[in-house]
Structure 1
Amino acid sequence: MTNWFTSGGAGYAAHRPTYPAELARALAELAPARRLAVDVGCGSGQFTVLLAECFDEVIGLDPSDDQLAHAVARDGVEYRRARAEETGLADACADLITVAQAAHWLDLPPFYDEVRRIAADGAVLALITYGAADLPPDLQPRFDRLYRDELGPYWPPERRHIDAGYADLEFGFDRLPVAAPAIEREWTLGEFTAYLETWSAARRAAAAGDGHLIDRFAADIRDSWGPGRRRVRWPLTVVAGRVERSDLR
Structure 2
Amino acid sequence: MAILDRFSAHAASYARYRIDYPAELFTYVLAAVPARNQAWDCATGNGQVATALATYFEQVEATDISQQQLTEAPTRPNVRYRVSPAEHTPFADGQFDLVTVGQALHWFDVDAFHREVRRVLRSEGVVAEWGYGLCTVNPAVDGLVRDFYTDVIGPYWDTMRRHVEDRYAQLPFDFADVQHASFTVDRRWTAEWFLNYLRTWSAVRKFIQRNGHDPVDALAGPVEAAWGAGEALVQFPVFLRLGRNK
Verify the 8 A CA contact 2:204 2:214 in the aligned structure 1: no
State the shift of 1:210 in Å.
5.9
Q: In the aligned structure 2, how far is the partner of 1:148 from the partner of 1:223?
A: 21
Structure 2 distance, partners of 1:43, 1:32, is 26
Deviation by residue 1:112-149 (Cα, 9 ceiling, x = unmatched): 11111100110111111001112212211111101111
Give 1:175 deviation, angstroms.
4.2
CA shift for structure 1 position 5: 2.1
Distance in 2 (CA, whole Å) between partners of 1:166 and 1:211 is: 32
Shift of 1:71: 1.1
8 A contact 2:33–2:98 mirrored in 1: yes
Q: Where do 5+ consecutive residues of structure 1 fail to align?
A: 245-249
Question: Is the CA contact (8 Å cut-off) linking 1:24 and 1:54 kept in structure 2?
Answer: no
Q: CA deviation at 1:76?
A: 1.9
Partners of 1:44 and 1:68 within 8 A in 2: yes
Q: Is the 8 A contact 2:181 2:241 kept in 1?
A: no
Q: Of 51, 54, 65, which residue of structure 2 is paired with 1:52?
A: 54
SS in structure 1 at match of 2:56: coil
Question: Is 1:36 equivalent to 2:72 in the alignment?
Answer: no
Runs (5+) with no aligned partner, structure 2 = none
SS of the counterpart of 2:203? helix
Q: How does 1:14-163 map to 2 (within 5 A)?
A: 14-163=16-165
Cα distance change on mapping 1:226 and 1:210 into 2, 3 Å = farther
CA distance in 1, matches of 2:202, 2:75: 25
Aligned partner of 2:230 in structure 1 is 228
1:47, CA displacement in angstroms?
Answer: 1.5
Q: 1:225 to 1:210 in 2, by over 3 A?
A: farther
Question: What TM-score do the two structures reach when normalised by structure 1?
Answer: 0.94
Counterpart mapping for 1:168-183 below 5 A? 168-183=170-185
Q: Distance in 1 between matches of 2:27 and 2:62?
A: 17
Distance between the aligned counterparts of 2:189 and 2:77, measured in 1? 29
Aligned residues: CA RMSD: 1.3
Q: Paired residue for 2:209? A: 207
Residue 175 of structure 1 contacts residue 239 of structure 1 at CA under 8 Å; is this kept in 2?
no
Q: Which moved more, 1:68-77 or 1:175-184?
A: 175-184
Deviation (angstroms), 1:192: 0.6
Deviation at 1:69, TM superposition (A): 0.8
- Partner SS for 2:195: helix
2:97 and 2:239 map into 1 onto residues whose CA distance is 21
On the 8 A contact 1:40/1:99 being kept in 2, the answer is yes
**Residues 202 and 211 of structure 1 are in contact (CA less than 8 Å); yes or no, is this contact kept in structure 2?**
no
The separation in 2 between residues aligned to 1:75 and 1:148, in whole angstroms, is 43
Q: Establish whether residue 188 from structure 1 lines up as the match of residue 195 from structure 2.
A: no
Deviations 1:74-109 (A, max 9, x none): 232111111111111111011010010000001111
Query: Counterpart amino acid of 2:186?
Result: E
Equivalenced residue count is 244
Instruction: Give the deviation of 1:3 after TM superposition.
Output: 1.9
Q: For 1:90 and 1:153, locate their aligned partners in 2 and report how far apart those are by CA, in whole Å.
A: 41
One-letter identity of the residue aligned with 1:173? F
CA distance in 2, matches of 1:161, 1:26: 23
Take 2:214 and 2:54, find their aligned partners in 1: how far apart are those partners? 40
Cα shift readout 1:23-63 (whole Å, capped 9, x = no counterpart): 12221111110111110011111221111122111111101
Per the normalisation by structure 2, the TM-score is 0.95
